[in-house]
Structure 1
């Protein structure tokens, strides 16, 4: 599938606010039909869809619930058209606050599992639900959202980082399995973003420190990361799969 972005129907998980909202806005700007998935952020999601217009619609679902995701994809197909593109951005409840993070002496496997249910489990559920649509379109685009923390764990958020590292592995193995069907699967790995609900708890001094260490001299914005997602969905990335692109202004080099 090498459709221009303007011909795509894009399902974005966790798109009610923050980075997901920026990704939805970016796709809409290019003319795509946008399915805005949310779990709890109904008001934010509906306001976002209203700002985009009739090419966007909102869909409530917990992506860790396989049946809910099946129903979500069916509703999107009926209302916006069969999905061609998945952006898996959904995040389990998490706050980037180094002061309040769990240390190894208090960390439980259940903490990691809770992150993994959404990061990895959500991707598995979405891929299963989209399987028939990939067949219909003879391909598709899948973009996952990772982190630069598994390259440089400057703050050791153990549960979050472990789940995102597992998501990167799943991105690569899914790319291998789905490649013969014309589906590309890639990851965009951001750093700390200025600013989302998740990063709002980060002290201003940390933002300033990261900005000072970044070659571009500023902390990456959600809008900048969203533009990289567009690349992987575009025909320009038709020969790229199984890759992780770090978008953090050059702070981390893979």
Structure 2
């Protein structure tokens, strides 16, 4: 008797029907977009932002719950996860999009700048991961948004990049520790993304200059980043953990070279 092979339902691996997810930094840009993506795949969401109005607005769009807190504090993270558990029951996944750059040379960073940058990128991630063991007893995906600045030096972003590099390492370590409990921990490393905040900060000429440095010829959109976050949050990535995934249009494999004019004697090597 021939045994019939089981055919994998690949589209079904994106089905998150009924799974409770917490999205930290859900109120705008990438956070709002991944909230839409998760909801479209059936997830039940608890949307978190430091600004209550933003959290409420995206929760209304995706039919979820919301909370407002400063998650750079241990108290804020504890409050968020307790509220999420009360609304969702068992939490099955977390997406953390929090992280803003304070762009200055090292010499201009004072102590307050440094503490703020570490707090908003690294400290809150540590508090979040510390909560995971008790908040996600059934395991599941935990995905952070890091930065290409954590993988390579970017002018005036050394402290930001250092905090992101530390986040990347924290994720790798947490993946090793939490893997036996069924928790997958990953981080993506985007380059420039056309979020509402950056679209306000940079003018057209600056975006043109950025686009020219990207091998694919353009910066990313929030939707493109959300698609990768959705993949890592789904059963499509059921065996992916401890990964720092560049999502940068090829920036990580390219180098900015000087504009050199070679003489005839150099042209053949």
TM-score range with shorter-chain normalisation?
A: 0.7 to 0.9
Structure 1 partner of 2:74: 66
Q: Does 1:47 align with 2:57?
A: yes
What 5-or-longer segments of structure 1 have no aligned partner?
Answer: 96-100
SS of equivalent to 2:120: helix
SS of equivalent to 2:95: strand
Q: Does 1:222 align with 2:230?
A: no
Q: Which structure exhibits the higher relative contact order, with contacts defined as CA atoms closer than 8 Å and separated by 6 or more residues? A: 1
Q: How many Å separate the matches in 1 of 2:151 and 2:23?
A: 25
Count of residues in Structure 1 that have an aligned counterpart in Structure 2:
242
Structure 2 partner of 1:103: 105
Pick which of 144-153 and 181-190 moved more.
Answer: 144-153
Q: How many Å separate the matches in 2 of 1:205 and 1:149?
A: 22
Q: Does 1:33 align with 2:31?
A: no
SS of equivalent to 1:87: strand
Contact 1:112 1:158 in 2 (8 A): no
Structure 1 partner of 2:9: none
Structure 2 partner of 1:98: none
What 5-or-longer segments of structure 2 have no aligned partner?
Answer: 1-12, 255-269
Contact 2:27 2:58 in 1 (8 A): yes
Structure 1 partner of 2:5: none
- For residues 99-248 of structure 1, the aligned pairs below 5 Å read 101-135=103-137, 137=138, 139-198=139-198, 200-248=200-248
- What is the TM-score of this pair, normalised by structure 1? 0.87
Contact 1:83 1:130 in 2 (8 A): no
Q: How many Å separate the matches in 2 of 1:133 and 1:45?
A: 21
Q: Does 1:6 align with 2:38?
A: no
Q: How many Å separate the matches in 2 of 1:119 and 1:85?
A: 20
- What is the TM-score of this pair, normalised by structure 2? 0.83
Contact 2:96 2:145 in 1 (8 A): yes
Q: How many Å separate the matches in 1 of 2:58 and 2:226?
A: 15
Structure possessing the higher radius of gyration over alpha carbons: 2
Structure 2 partner of 1:86: 94
Contact 2:92 2:140 in 1 (8 A): yes
RMSD: 2.1
Q: How many Å separate the matches in 2 of 1:207 and 1:151?
A: 21
Contact 2:122 2:166 in 1 (8 A): yes
Q: How many Å separate the matches in 2 of 1:206 and 1:167?
A: 28
Q: How many Å separate the matches in 2 of 1:102 and 1:216?
A: 28
